[in-house]
Structure 1
Amino acid sequence: MTKVSVRSLFWASGKAAASVEEALEALRRLWKEDGSVRDLMTKAAKEGYVLVDTRDVPAPFVAAVRVALARLRERLKEETPSTLLVKGTGKAKEERKPMVWESPEGVRYAVEVYDLTPREEKHWGLRDKRVEDAAKWLERFLSGVEYEEGRSPLEEALEHEDNPHFRREDLIPEDLEARLRLLGWDGSLRTLQALVASLTAREKAFVEAVRSISALVDREKGQVVALKTPIGWEVRQSISREAMKAVMAVGLLQELVKNPSWKVPEVRRHLEAVAEVDTHLRGLLAELEAIGTLRKAKYHLDELGRGRAIAVYRDPATGEPVYRTPVIG
């Protein structure tokens, strides 16, 4: 796709046009006098184009550029023979080859003309004018499309959050909503943003709590299982297999949280082994689940906060937008 700077053409024309016809006349003079403009517009008409730098340019001039490029494309377009061929292979059998249409982006499409049933030799190689007209119309339509950044679903939902007639109930998945409710969320998007904003502080507090563990205590037996020393964890006495797993797990856990990108599932696996022996540390498991929920909520809000591309089609005659639609994909 060739980028055509409308502002550059406007300045080069040297005259403010009050109507589309005046702007077309200015473009004709520019075409005759400036070879670089002629080359640019020819390339744009052949390969497809995107209009850029349209702000602060009068709408009649923008429309005139589109009209000029559309007319130039029609003039430069070479007539190609139809690929629709019908060969009789018997009384009841017919073999058809579809027409091929190539979009401005270079994508080729096979067009089957199912409602045409030639019966005589004079119809062989017949061109389907309806398909050709539709292809031309589609090319003109696509050449006039521009793209702009639209508002995100989150912005729209926040704007109408206080209006029950526009409230979006499908923004937050049900499973995530249930987990957020356990953290005290009241269902408001603004409250959710504040809750997610506390994630960094909660992660920091969790890491500090894990790294501050200096002893493992079997609460049921009232025995100290192990103590942390400068050279590692020291087992105090003969302990069970579960307690030994907990001692190994707490060492791995404290090393794991030193990495800023630690993952909740990995930390959970080691923390569960530790809390199995020292039940006093089960509160850290609850905090870990809260962090996992808030991380998921943050990711979801970030996705909802992404602006959506909007395709805008403008009237070639006036330059006014007449159709808008979100770009999918």
Structure 2
Amino acid sequence: MSLLLFDATLCLLLLVLALASILSRQLVHGVILYIAFGLMMALAWARLATPDLALAEAAIGAGLTGALCFSALARQQLHLPVVLSWPQRLWPAVFVLLMLGGVLAALLQLPPTASPLVDVAQAELINSGVSHPVTAVLLNFRSWDTLLELVVLLLALLGALQVAPAAKATTSWPLSLSWSRLLAPMVILLAGYLLWAGASQPGGAFQAGALLAAGAVVLRLNHQLNWLRWSNFWIRLLIVSGVSAFVLAALLAMLLTTDNTDVIWLRWPPQLAGGFILLVELFATLAIALTLTLLVVGEPAAAEQAQQNSGGEAHD
């Protein structure tokens, strides 16, 4: 009964935070409420026994997206407040309520029995190269979807770099700088664990990449990782390697298919499937982490970049 009350309170709090973020008259308050909503969503995923999604939601919904919103606010003229009329502030709330009603209606129409696709996935799990059904679906049974997601993420970064202005130099808060250095090794270890554990339990490339990106954004905003920018050739190479490794692994798998079955694109040989999936997820993790980081922090301004370069030469 206590857990039921907790879940009901959590659902109500999510709805209240979503509406409050939309109806807020000040953008700063709206962003803060949105970050709080992301943290509550992470707690909701944890209650649904999906720790990988909870970590991804905390890293992206509350961390990266919150940093992106605050970065956008910093570029606005906050001394000129935008006054919105009630209809302008009300229609997003109505949209949220309609979407929530649609989701609830869809849930009520779900069949009481499990989909037959669950049994099909479990039957083929032994040939997938992994023991976790979600990873098997994402990296084996439906690899096309994951490959296209990486392509979309890469195109989003390329588009953002074309229109986003260079980031202005800011001063670092000493407490934030010290904490970012302290937590960076822990973030790397946890991301590595999520990547490795994804074959047999919740985890995988996207969760590991999102966690790495959250740590990299904090360090980058504190003027660490100055080499992490699009103008760095190795950074561009690692970002493109997510899609490239996927395609090259698929071509190699086609060449290594020696049985009499038809050669199918993005079909891994059963005896080598585990190695192919781990290789693809490794490069996908790095590509996702770097892409999300650059989407949030962008490129440094020319003056800041020259100052960082001169500082690095003086240090050397």
After TM superposition, is the score higher than 0.5? no
| Bigger strand fraction | 1
Q: TM-score, normalised by structure 2?
A: 0.20
Q: TM-score, normalised by structure 1?
A: 0.20
Higher relative contact order (CA 8 A, sep 6+): 2
